Amino acid sequence: MVTLMRSLTLTHKTVYSFSFFFPFSSLRTNFHFYPPFLHTAISMDSHGFSSSLDSVTEHLHNHNLQTDTDPVPRLKLEDLNWDHSFVRALPADPRTDSLPREVLHACYTKVSPSVEVDDPQLVAWSEPVADLLDLDHKEFERPDFPLIFSGASPPVGALPYAQCYGGHQFGMWAGQLGDGRAITLGEILNSKSERWELQLKGAGKTPYSRFADGLAVLRSSIREFLCSEAMHHLGIPTTRALCLVNTGKLVTRDMFYDGNAKEEAGAIVCRVAQSFLRFGSYQIHASRGNEDLGIVRGLADYAIRHHFPHIENMNKSESLSFSTGDEDHSVVDLTSNKYAAWAVEVAERTASLIARWQGVGFTHGVLNTDNMSILGLTIDYGPFGFLDAFDPHFTPNTTDLPGRRYCFANQPDMGLWNLVQFTKTLSAAQLINEKEANYALERYGTKFMDDYQAIMTKKLGLPKYNKQLISKLLSNMAVDKVDYTNFFRTLSNVKADTSIPDDELLVPLKSVLLDMGKERKEAWTSWLKGYIHEVSTSDISDDERKSSMNSVNPKYILRNYLCQTAIDAAEIGDFGEVRRLLKLMEHPFEEQAGMEKYARLPPAWAYRPGVCMLSCSS
């Protein structure tokens, strides 16, 4: 049994000691969170989703979906509707140079891209992201497009800046961090009045670069570009990527921090998100004492106004009052404090995001507070990895190896730990009180468990959540190192027929249950009998269940070795594999003719350092 104990101090009076429940039989812990809220039974309807879901986020979101039948205009780059609300609303650094320094009393520094280029090339581009911006796809064919999105000649209307933020890295406060190699060009308002920020990653030095050069290399840029888009098409909230440009210049990097630096091809990704604000965007100002606490409030007001307008517009009639679960049965009224309502929604979005990661087997690798989006987006793709052979302790980050703080099984813990730091920041700025902070953290736990249980129920095609069955499954998968993605996809082939002889039960799973002795075969046969009994109680057909399971269990994921294959080709000038992977990942749940090889188990070379595990060097 593995117990992951943490002690989290939210205020001077409240201490949380907990071990996060994660449903493995032999790797299971109990979640003891005070005040205790997860002891409440969670009922599941016939589709496996919680019928008692009382998500505050869902209460706050009361949007009327409109169908727009008017054709969307297709714009040239020069016609994009730029806006600069962040720059207008928040305090700026009075200096505009890129000299590394501490930037005080400011949310950003106006700084232009300084990257050098030599005949830059467009490596890959995303037409679905262009659609978000109303950008005409023909613009990708412009001869000057690579020059514009390398940062050498920023688009007309842009107002570049680098954001100031701080963060906890591996549990330790790191002080000022900021956009050390990312420069935001500004915000685009599209025809739906949606706000999208465009940011160039690898565009040169900023005041936040410290001792680095502000550049990025092709290998890490390919990984970020592809995974941003792959995650979106898996249905997981994420920043997006418009394009990837090869700068034509070399960048020196020490991939493993072992003194063996080498020159690599430089590159730039144009990242797109509704906001790049992180937990650390608020932390840095709260860390600097009373003088900057007003900036925390200003940043909160900005975020609510532009990205959580439903909170700004709520009123007393909505009656958003909730019991905290404390011994005194106190009540938190979210209509009386918009900052509390906001903190709760940030917590719920974070919980939902991490539940989706766990469902698809994604490990972020660097869950520092500066890598936590206030919008609940997957942000900052460094040494990420999808599970191949199932290992709850898997971490794709070589820097994380000693303690495996950010391993797959720890991600729910780390989401909560990071939220504690965020709520401490809001408390320091007197935006929320202790009970409101506690309630936000309660909602994280409840929302995570609701979403995770619903996801796992649907992945298995169960009529209702079955904790014991799922726990035993994950335990078996961990013992036998079963491929996470291929197993769930193959499981849909099992028939709900309780009359199948024991010696034939494993036949549908023979491609994923490999090299097992008699004892392990018996363990899997026992589990499968219980599984078949459970699904046989449903009134849906085998074909319907298979279709439903395949809609949530991807056939294709962005395995690290697939990324590496594309990187190896791109580094000798062949960008075809990058583009093929992009198209493949746009339809991860579909059977794609001729693409079966991309769903195969990783080859032996995929487990070498630099492929299955990476450092933060880029």
Written as six digits, the tokens of 390 are 């199932």
**Sequence-distant (≥ 6) Cβ neighbours of residue 31 within 8 angstroms:** 18, 19, 20, 21, 38, 445
Of 190, 161, 197, which Cα lies nearest the Cα of 72? Answer: 190
| C-beta separation of 180 from 370 below 8 A | no
Of 308, 63, 74, which Cα lies nearest the Cα of 191? Answer: 74
Written as six digits, the tokens of 210 are 């410290």
Please identify every residue annotated as catalytic: 370
Written as six digits, the tokens of 19 are 């071990």
Written as six digits, the tokens of 117 are 């280029």
Q: Give how far Cα 364 sits from Cα of 2, 293, 355, 552, Å.
A: 21, 31, 13, 20
In order, the DSSP letters of 304-345 are HHHH-HHHHT--GGG--EEE---TT--EEEGGG-HHHHHHHH
Which 3 state secondary structure label does DSSP give 341? helix
Rounded distance between C-alpha atoms, residue 104 and residue 591, angstroms: 53
| Amino acid at the residue 205 | K
Which helix H or strand E contains 125, and what residues bound it?
A: strand 121-125
Which 3 state secondary structure label does DSSP give 101? coil
Which 3 state secondary structure label does DSSP give 310? helix
